[in-house]
Amino acid sequence: DADVTQTPRNRITKTGKRIMLECSQTKGHDRMYWYRQDPGLGLRLIYYSFDVKDINKGEISDGYSVSRQAQAKFSLSLESAIPNQTALYFCATQRGQGRSEQYFGPGTRLTVT
C-alpha cells in the first residue's frame, strides 16, 4: 500500500461548491503539507502542519482551509470553488526532526467549471 494516499484522485465540480480533498499517511511523519501545481508556476504551498495542534498558512492560502484530524490525516477544503482553483493538488509529508525529505502523495486533479 502507498505510504501517502489522496482522495479523490480526480474531481470535477462547479463554481460555488464546497469540496474537500483528503490526505492520509502511514509513514508516521509529523509534518504535512498541501501544495498546488499549475503549469509554469511550479509547486506552491497552501497550508502546512507540524502536528495536530500546529497549522499554518502558506503562500497562497486564500480560498482554502484545512483540518488536521490526526497525525495521519490532513484535509484541504475549498469553501466556494472558483475556476482559477483548477489545478493539481499534492499532499506531502516530512519527518519532523533534522534534515529530511518531503514525500508526495499521488495528487488530486481538480477541475472547477
Partner 1 sequence: QKEVEQNSGPLSVPEGAIASLNCTYSDRVSQSFFWYRQYSGKSPELIMSIYSNGDKEDGRFTAQLNKASQYVSLLIRDSQPSDSATYLCAVNHRGTYKYIFGTGTRLKVLA
Quick check: 88 binds partner 1 (CB under 8 A)?
A: yes
Give the interface segment with partner 1, choosing from 21-29, 48-56, 60-68, 72-80 (CB under 8 A): 48-56
Task: Choose, by CB under 8 A, the member of 8, 16, 83, 106 that binds partner 1.
Answer: 106
Between 74 and 90, name the residue whose CB sits nearer to partner 1.
90
- 72 and 102 Cβ atoms separated by less than 8 Å: no
Longest CA span, the chain: 42
Task: Give the Cα separation of 95 and 3 in Å (integer).
Answer: 13
Place of cell 493539481: 88
Quick check: 60 binds partner 1 (CB under 8 A)?
A: no
Task: Give the Cα separation of 98 and 110 in Å (integer).
Answer: 33
Interface contacts to partner 1, rule CB under 8 A: 31, 40-43, 45, 48, 50, 56, 88, 90, 99, 101-107, 109
